[in-house]
């Protein structure tokens, strides 16, 4: 009995000791890592740091900025002494100087951390927000059409057509329009391609050929389209730039803002009411905004496009950030934008900016196409035949028509040679809508 009791006592003590030792080791592992004496390495990592990293434990040095001054680079502290592989790569990643024999400064850039962030934005945020923006504008326009309906010529068609845009103006406009549409379609295809179009093509192919699925169908079909699209995008861009210059030269003076435009904008062009439009010259306030947006955004799109077309040739963003920093300082706000971007960062900013501006323009142009076609009765012919109905012109651009009348440029209907068209009823001479009895 006594021996049994002694055995039980010994077992209990052993168990308690085991639990206590387990607790103490647990306490040790969960607590803060003991400080490491790095005097021997001049502050650089020690063998203990390397072992800790291998055990998956945190090493405070990993958050640091590299090997401190004076650290030995040889010795028994790793494959390269104080300067171990991990530390070398950390320095390279953090943009610190690592000597290389590469002649090309871009090739000498071994690791570029920002690249991962840029790629992620390129693959996720940019396509996602692009879809949101395009769906939103299409939904808004549909809603507008349903609520407001088509903007009609209130006084009906007249039989008189007046010239609104000359051949060269229309040529400039359509060169701009067709080149922009080609650029938009091919640009969006490049943005969505690898992540979305390839799986979509694979899906269509699988639905259509369930018995003979080619696993590379999407990639192969997209590769062809991407090649042709890239070629078209790079070359059609020149037509876009040329037409941008053309419309700027032809229309800039007519698009200088005036007080009339402010009043036009304050009344939203009379768009929300069924009767009457505010006064306007050849271009109204809304058109002037469109003109300047096309010029400014189109100019910026062209500049960033050229930077992408000629890689590593320009440092636009460093220069722009420098100017923005100066503006910030002038108004007492520190922007602290990086003004010494590497050539690769310049390219990444150019790609992101190019995409953002393009999407903003696409959204604006969708709204413009709507108003220049289905949204407004009588508008399209201005850019189609170059002529518009006199009643349409009087309703939307009354000051322009008044000027033409003064100059005697409004053709008079047959048999009304002496009368001023100003005195004609807006709807005259209209075709009777009810057959004569
Ligand atoms: C199929 C597409 C397009 C159609 C149907 C269209 C239609 C029109 C029409 C009818 C006008 C004359 C409006 C008026 O007489 O007052 C016009 C003007 C203009 N368009 Fe377009 N357009 C198209 C594409 C584009 C594109 C892609 C751009 C630019 C990238 C553009 C830029 C302009 C500019 C700057 C004006 C002069 C300002 C204005 O009248 O709003 N257009 N367009």
Q: Which pLDDT belongs to residue 82? A: 46
Mutate to test the pocket of ligand 1, among 161, 177, 294, 365 (most ligand atoms within 8 A of CB): 177
The residues, ordered by sequence, that sit 6+ positions from 174 with a Cβ below 8 Å of its Cβ are 383
Q: How far is the CA of 265 from the centre of ligand 1 (A)?
A: 19
Ligand 1 centroid from CA 170, angstroms: 9
Best mutation site among 297, 305, 372, 384 for ligand 1, i.e. most ligand atoms within 8 A of its Cβ? 372
Nearest residue (by CA) to ligand 1, atom 42, is 177
Among protein residues, the one whose CA lies closest to atom 3 of ligand 1: 369
Q: Are 367 and 141 in contact (CB under 8 A)?
A: yes
Number of H helices, E strands in the chain: 14, 2
- Map residue 185 onto helix, strand or coil: helix
CA of 173 to the centre of ligand 1 (A): 7
Residues whose beta carbon lies within 6 Å of some atom of ligand 1: 164, 173, 176-177, 180, 247, 283, 287, 290-291, 294, 365, 368-369, 372-373, 379-380, 382-383
Minimum CA distance residue for ligand 1 atom 41: 287
Tell me what pLDDT residue 94 has.
Answer: 66
The contacts of residue 288 (CB under 8 Å, 6+ apart) are 255, 257, 261
Report d(CA 309, CA 263) in Å as an integer: 43
Eight-class DSSP state of 70: T
Q: Which residues contact 313 (CB under 8 A, 6 or more apart)?
A: 307
Q: What's the 373 CA to ligand 1 centre distance in angstroms?
A: 9
* Atom 29 in ligand 1: residue holding the nearest Cα: 177
Task: Output the CA 53–ligand 1 centroid distance in Å.
Answer: 63
pLDDT at res. 203: 95
pTM of the full predicted structure? Answer: 0.76
Residue 4 has what pLDDT? 56
Domains of the chain, each with CATH number or no CATH:
32-94 (no CATH), 121-413 (1.20.950.20)
- The protein residue with its alpha carbon nearest to ligand 1, atom 4, reads 369
Determine the Cα–Cα distance for residues 74 and 302; give it in Å rounded to an integer.
53
Ligand 1 atom nearest residue 282's Cα? 16
Tell which atom from ligand 1 comes closest to the C-alpha of 380: 10
Q: Which atom of ligand 1 is nearest to the CA of 181?
A: 27
Query: DSSP label at 375?
Result: T
Torsion of CA 429, 431, 432, 437, to 10 degrees: 110
Say what the pLDDT of residue 420 is.
46
pLDDT at 147: 92
Q: Which residue's CA lies nearest to atom 40 of ligand 1?
A: 287
Mean pLDDT by 10 residues, the chain (437 residues): 55 46 41 68 75 76 53 50 61 65 71 83 93 98 94 90 96 98 96 91 92 90 93 97 98 97 92 80 97 98 96 89 94 89 90 97 98 95 96 94 90 58 43 33
Q: Which atom of ligand 1 is nearest to the CA of 298?
A: 30
**CA 166 / ligand 1 centre spacing (Å):** 14
Q: Identify the residue whose C-alpha is closest to ligand 1 atom 36.
A: 291
Rounded distance from Cα 133 to ligand 1 centre (Å): 20
How many whole angstroms from 385 Cα to the centroid of ligand 1? Answer: 14
Phi and psi at 259, nearest 5°, equal -65, -30
């Amino acid at each position: 009995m006594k021996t049994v009791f002694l055995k039980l006592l010994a077992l209990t003590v052993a168990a308690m000791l085991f639990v206590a030792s387990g607790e103490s080791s647990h306490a040790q592992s969960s607590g803060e890592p003991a400080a490491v004496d790095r005097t021997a390495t001049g502050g650089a990592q020690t063998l203990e740091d390397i072992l800790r990293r291998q055990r998956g434990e945190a090493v405070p040095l990993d958050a640091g900025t590299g090997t401190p001054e004076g650290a030995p680079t040889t010795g028994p502290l790793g494959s390269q002494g104080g300067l171990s592989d991990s530390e070398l790569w950390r320095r390279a990643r953090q943009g610190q100087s690592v000597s290389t024999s590469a002649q090309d400064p871009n090739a000498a850039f071994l690791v570029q951390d920002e690249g991962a962030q840029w790629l992620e934005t390129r693959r996720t945020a940019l396509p996602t927000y692009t879809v949101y923006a395009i769906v939103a504008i299409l939904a808004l326009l549909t809603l507008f059409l349903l609520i407001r309906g088509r903007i009609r010529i209130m006084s009906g068609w007249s039989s008189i057509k007046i010239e609104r845009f000359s051949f060269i103006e229309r040529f400039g406009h359509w060169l701009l329009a067709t080149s922009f549409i080609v650029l938009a379609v091919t640009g969006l295809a490049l943005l969505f391609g690898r992540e979305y179009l390839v799986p979509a093509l694979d899906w269509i192919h699988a639905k259509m050929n369930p018995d003979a699925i080619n696993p590379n169908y999407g990639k192969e079909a997209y590769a062809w389209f991407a090649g042709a699209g890239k070629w078209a995008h790079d070359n059609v861009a020149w037509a876009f730039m040329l037409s941008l210059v053309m419309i700027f030269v032809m229309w800039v003076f007519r698009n200088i803002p005036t007080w009339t435009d402010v009043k036009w904008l304050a009344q939203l062009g009379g768009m929300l009411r069924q009767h009457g439009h505010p006064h306007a010259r050849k271009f109204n306030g809304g058109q002037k905004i469109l003109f300047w947006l096309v010029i400014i955004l189109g100019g910026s799109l062209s500049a960033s496009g050229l930077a992408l077309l000629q890689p590593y040739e320009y440092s636009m963003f460093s220069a722009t950030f420098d100017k923005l920093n100066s503006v910030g300082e002038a108004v007492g706000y520190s922007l602290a934008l990086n003004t010494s971007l590497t050539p690769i960062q310049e390219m990444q900013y150019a790609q992101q900016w190019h995409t953002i501006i393009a999407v903003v323009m696409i959204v604006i142009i969708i709204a413009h196409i709507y108003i220049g076609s289905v949204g407004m009765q009588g508008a399209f012919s201005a850019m189609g035949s170059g002529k518009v109905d006199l009643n349409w012109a009087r309703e939307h651009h009354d000051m322009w028509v008044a000027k033409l009348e003064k100059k005697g440029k409004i053709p008079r209907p047959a048999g009304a040679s002496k009368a001023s068209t100003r005195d004609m009823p807006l709807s005259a001479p209209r075709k009777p809508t009810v057959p004569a009895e």
